[in-house]
C-alpha cells in the first residue's frame, strides 16, 4: 500500500487575472498535505503574474514566459512535476470541496494498480441557475469527459506520450482515448471534484468536434458509426446555439442538459 503519494496539481494560464485567484485559493485550501502546486503562465500581460507572485509561498514552481499554447504549457508543467499523480486544473476552474485531492489520493493508496480515476465535473457559465454536472455516465471508447476531473499516474505519459501539440483544442481527448484503448480503464469516484468554467479554448465547439473526430480516427480508425456520430453532434451543436441565442429558450436548454447527464451507470471501472 502506497502511503500519501505526492500529487502534482498543474495550472496553466494566460491572461487570466480575473479568474486565477479563485483557482489558487481552491488548491491551497485542500486538506491533503502531500501535494505540489505548479503554475505555468504563457507570458500574460494583464496582471496574472502579480497574482501568482501574491501566492508564491504556496506555489512549488511557476514560470511566466511565452509558450506554444495550452498543451505545450501542460507538457511543460508535467515535465516539471515530481509527483506520482497528476491533475490539471486550469485557471478559472476550482475544486468543489477541500477534500477532493485527499479523496483521490485515498483511491490510489487503496488500489496501487489503478492508473487513472475520475470524478464528477460541474460545468458553469454564469448564466444558468446552477452547474450542469457531467461524468455520471460510464465512460466508453469516446471518453467524453473533462480532463480537470481526472487524476492519473504521471507514468502514463511514458506509455502514451505527452499531449500532442498538433491539436489545439482536443489533445487531452486524444491522450485519454489512447490510454483507454491501451487497456488502462479508469476508476469512477462518485464525487463532485471540479467546477469547470466554460469559455476556454475547448468551447470553440466546431473546431473541437473536428479535432475529436480526428482523434477518434487516429486511435480507432475510420468508421461509419463515428462519422454518423459526428454529424449528429454537429446537428446538436446547431440546435444548442439556437437555444442559447434566444434567451427565452435558455431554461429549456438547461433542462435538456440536466436530463442528458443525469443517468448513472458505473461499476468498479469501465468496460469496452
Residue spans of the domains in the chain: they are 7-260
Q: Across the chain, which distance is largest between two alpha carbons, in Å?
A: 54
Q: What is the pLDDT of residues 221-258, one digit of tens each?
A: 988 887 887 787 777 767 766 766 666 555 655 555 65
Q: Give me the residues paired with residue 39 across strands.
A: 11, 62
Q: Give me the residues paired with residue 150 across strands.
A: 118
> Which uninterrupted H or E stretch holds 202?
none
Helix (H, G, I), strand (E, B) or coil at 61: strand
- CA atoms of 61 and 136, how far apart (whole Å): 34
- Closest-CA residue to 52 (of 87, 86, 11, 85): 11
What fold, for 7-260? Spore Coat Polysaccharide Biosynthesis Protein SpsA; Chain A (3.90.550)
In Å, what is the CA distance from 123 to each residue of 55, 92, 129, 191, 270? 26, 11, 11, 14, 23
- CA atoms of 69 and 11, how far apart (whole Å): 13
- CA atoms of 30 and 205, how far apart (whole Å): 32
Torsion sign (Cα): 112, 178, 6, 22:
negative
Tens-digit pLDDT profile for the chain (272 aa)? Answer: 458 999 999 999 999 999 999 999 999 999 999 999 999 999 999 999 999 999 999 999 999 999 999 999 999 999 999 999 999 999 999 999 999 999 999 999 999 999 999 999 998 776 665 788 888 777 777 777 889 999 999 999 999 999 999 999 999 999 999 999 998 889 999 999 999 887 654 457 788 888 988 999 999 998 888 788 778 777 776 776 676 666 655 565 555 565 666 655 554 333 33
Amino acid at each position: 500500500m502506497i502511503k500519501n503519494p505526492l500529487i502534482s496539481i498543474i495550472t496553466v494560464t494566460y491572461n487570466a487575472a480575473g479568474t486565477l485567484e479563485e483557482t489558487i485559493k481552491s488548491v491551497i485550501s485542500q486538506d491533503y498535505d502531500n501535494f505540489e502546486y505548479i503554475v505555468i503562465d504563457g507570458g500574460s500581460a494583464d496582471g496574472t503574474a502579480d497574482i501568482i507572485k501574491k501566492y508564491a509561498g504556496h506555489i512549488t514552481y511557476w514560470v511566466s514566459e511565452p509558450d506554444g499554447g495550452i498543451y505545450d504549457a501542460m507538457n511543460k508543467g508535467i515535465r516539471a512535476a515530481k509527483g506520482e499523480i497528476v491533475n490539471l486544473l486550469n485557471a478559472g476552474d476550482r475544486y468543489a470541496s477541500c477534500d477532493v485531492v485527499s479523496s483521490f489520493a485515498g483511491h490510489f493508496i487503496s488500489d496501487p494498480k489503478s492508473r487513472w480515476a475520475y470524478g464528477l465535473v460541474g460545468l458553469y457559465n454564469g448564466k444558468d441557475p446552477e452547474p450542469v454536472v457531467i461524468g455520471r455516465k460510464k465512460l466508453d471508447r469516446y471518453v467524453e469527459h473533462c480532463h480537470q476531473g481526472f487524476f492519473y499516474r504521471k507514468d502514463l505519459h511514458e506509455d502514451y506520450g505527452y499531449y500532442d501539440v498538433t491539436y489545439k483544442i482536443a489533445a487531452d481527448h486524444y491522450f485519454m482515448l489512447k490510454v483507454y484503448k491501451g487497456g488502462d480503464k479508469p476508476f469512477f469516484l462518485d464525487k463532485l471534484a471540479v467546477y469547470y468554467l466554460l469559455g476556454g479554448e475547448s468551447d470553440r465547439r466546431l473546431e473541437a468536434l473536428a479535432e475529436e473526430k480526428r482523434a477518434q480516427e487516429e486511435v480507432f480508425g475510420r468508421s461509419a458509426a463515428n462519422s454518423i456520430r459526428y454529424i449528429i453532434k454537429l446537428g446538436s451543436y446547431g440546435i444548442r446555439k439556437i437555444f442559447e441565442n434566444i434567451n427565452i429558450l435558455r431554461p429549456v436548454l438547461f433542462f435538456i442538459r440536466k436530463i442528458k447527464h443525469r443517468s448513472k451507470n458505473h461499476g468498479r471501472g469501465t468496460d469496452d
